[in-house]
Amino acid sequence: MLRDIWFEIRKIAVQKKNYVMLFGHLFFLALCYIGFKTSNFRFFEKEVADTIKFDNFQRFVDGLFFARVALVPTFLVLMPIFICTLAGDMVAGEIQDGSLKMYMARPRSRTRIILAKLSAIYLVNLLYCLYFSLIAIIIGLCLRGYSGTQLIYLHGLGLGSEMVLMFPDQALACYFMVVMYYSISMMALGSIAFFLSTVFDRMSGATVAAITLYFVCYIVEKLPFADKIEPYLLSKVMNGGSILWLSDIPYGRVVTNLSTLLIYIALFSMLSIINFNIKDIK
């Protein structure tokens, strides 16, 4: 099984399109830094001034603050597109170019093939999540250093707190807990994209369908009349890692969110196995 997983990872590694997101993320960080340098943060300082009076607000805008700001759009927009592209290509892409039929010319367990591909997706997804989080910290620290007190800005997240103050080690621990949460949430979306990859015979169909599903859920959760269904939408659960920034983490809610994500993963992984086992590989 490990050999099969390694084989799938190697196939992913040689596909140049999977590296486009790396350069896109660096471009995104560059634009964020330019924004940091050209903004005086007056709008931001005014928002938090009603809660806490700062003698020198700029000292809180450090490298770790930069990394936290970059973390949100990375996992709200960039990573969902990447995971849908990656997972949507795993079966449909190989059917499209004919390599899957050749691979299955010898007797192989279809279930084992699916499990190997799903494992490879998660490992690559985890690697990308860690890379995105680390590169943001490294660039932020190199350019802005760090402050002895970390300001965690939570305005607009509906968590009941506008901000939280932490020591740097606490902020880093929460930062990587959020990253690990996102690695699981991305796999929930990836399992859906992978299932669609077993349905379609072209990679573009599976990828576009999965991306559309995610962003439709994301848009609907922002609508004022969707408050009753909002907690059950895929995007809402996927992006529920923000609660890990709170001083008193509601672990019951964390467990509920993770359980929901694991149900998504298990359900669509099972559907992928069933569909692939009955699918006529052309």
Model pLDDT for residues 194-247, shown as the tens digit of each residue: 999 988 888 888 999 999 999 998 888 888 887 788 877 888 888 888 888 887
- Report d(CA 35, CA 29) in Å as an integer: 10
Please, which residues bridge with residue 164 across strands? 152
Q: What is the mean pLDDT of the chain?
A: 83
Please check the confidence at residue 53 and state whether its pLDDT lies above 70: no
- Report d(CA 125, CA 85) in Å as an integer: 11
Q: What is the mean pLDDT of residues 23-42?
A: 79
Q: For residue 219, give the nearest of 240, 233, 237 by alpha carbon.
A: 233
Q: What percent of the chain has pLDDT over 70?
A: 88
Q: What is the mean pLDDT of residues 68-81?
A: 87
pTM listed for this prediction: 0.86
Domain count, the chain: 1
Residue 106 contacts residue 33 (beta carbons within 8 Å): no
Residue 57 confidence class, pLDDT cut points 50, 70, 90: low
- Report d(CA 227, CA 224) in Å as an integer: 6
pLDDT (tens digit per residue) in 137-173: 898 888 777 777 777 776 655 665 667 777 888 888 8
User: Residue 157 corresponds to which amino acid?
Assistant: L
Please check the confidence at residue 71 and state whether its pLDDT lies above 90: no
Among all chains, which residue has been given the structure tokens 């591909």? Answer: 117
**Domain of 151, in residue numbers:** 2-278
User: In angstroms, what CA-CA distances link 254 with 181, 217, 230, 247?
Assistant: 9, 20, 16, 14
Please check the confidence at residue 254 and state whether its pLDDT lies above 80: yes
